[in-house]
Structure 1
Amino acid sequence: MFKHPKESQVSITELMLPSHSNFSGKIHGGHILNLMDQIAFACASKHSQHYCVTASVNRVDFLNPIEVGELVTLKASVNYTGRTSMVIGLRVESENIQTGKTKHCNSSYFTMVAKDENGKNATVPGIILDTKQAVRRFSRSIVRQEQARKRSSRFKTSEFKIEEYLEIIKTQNAKLEL
């Protein structure tokens, strides 16, 4: 079975309140991460028609601060489907209500895994790739997975070669005391 990404796209808009702010008066990153996890869950569950859990989050860069009183819109779409997992692409934008100016605040990729009623991994429908952008997003997810596998094996304790990193570390804000 295959589904079109549009069938499970989800978006939410929420007013940012003083209770969502940190000590500097900006919206707390943890609050935004919580909203991102919720919308990734909603999108993945809608696509798979199963309860889903977050397996990983690929890089969250906070590009622009969000102010109290702004509207924050989160958009989620299925970018990739494996056998039991999905990569959900998320975009976060904020809007100043008075000026109408919008800012891209961050984008991220959540890997979600579908679970059946017994808590076992459940098979998910594939996605229909009918635009160049959909093919690009799907392909980017494949490359990101390959890069993650290489990264994790390169830094395994048994594989790590300290000599390759000593000179680099000397140029950083760290003190070697081996």
Structure 2
Amino acid sequence: MTDQAPGADSGLTGADDGLLGKPTSASRTTLSHIMSGNETNLLGTVHGGVIMKLVDDAAGAVAGRHSGGPAVTASMDEMVFLEPVRVGDLVHVKAQVNWTGRSSMEIGVRVLAERWNEAVPATHVGSAYLVFAAVDADGKPRPVPPVEPETEQDKRRHQEAQIRRTHRLASRRAIKELRSRKRQEEPAGESGA
């Protein structure tokens, strides 16, 4: 997976396209859903894939709001499940833009769960980071406005997102180099993934 759509310039920000920045709060959103028996796995807890779909839905809403149009999931990394989610839990998926490139955005997502019938604080049950690419009607990358972190927490998240981006790009580059070397070493006729 990539952290930008093909052809996107990884070094530019939305500001280079003359777009005005948007504060983090402009696109922040929460999606809430009560978990039902249809969403359970063999252990009787909510299937991780159901939670991942909610995460992708919330992140997609944030990406679309921030970019002012369609955006597609480019990658998801560090999806961490901390606690099981049970039938009857009210799940809150909170998402916001942490970082923007020219056409890509990192969306941070935090998943909380609480019993629908109890007045106790929600439990942090999962977190994820997704990269979305803004696209036009032809599916081509389009510029996004830069995100403007507002709080100290937003600024920290922005800096952490830049670190994750650097790691994604370095990892992708190292894998490409390894595959290139392995292809050169393979005898004629052999192939693999």
Verify: 1:152 aligned to 2:179, yes or no.
Answer: no
User: Which AA in structure 2 matches 1:21?
Assistant: T
1:140-171 Cα offsets, whole Å, 9 max, x none, are 111111112222333422468xxxxxxxxxxx
Work out the CA distance in 1 between the residues paired with 2:48 and 2:62.
21
Verify: 1:40 aligned to 2:62, yes or no.
Answer: no
User: Which AA in structure 2 matches 1:148?
Assistant: R
Contact 2:34 2:116 in 1 (8 A): no
Q: What does residue range 3-82 of structure 1 map to in structure 2 within 5 Å?
A: 3-82=22-101
State the TM-score, normalized to the length of structure 1: 0.85
Q: What does residue range 64-143 of structure 1 map to in structure 2 within 5 Å?
A: 64-101=83-120, 102-143=122-163
User: Which AA in structure 1 matches 2:60?
Assistant: F
Count of residue correspondences: 160
> Which 5+ residue runs of structure 2 have no aligned equivalent?
1-19, 183-193
- Runs of 4+ displaced beyond 4 Å: none
Contact 1:77 1:88 in 2 (8 A): yes
Deviation of 1:87 after TM superposition, in Å, equals 0.5
> Which 5+ residue runs of structure 1 have no aligned equivalent?
161-178
Q: SS of the counterpart of 1:59?
A: strand
Contact 1:2 1:126 in 2 (8 A): yes
Contact 1:153 1:159 in 2 (8 A): no
Work out the CA distance in 2 between the residues paired with 1:22 and 1:141.
32
Q: Percent identity between the aligned chains?
A: 35
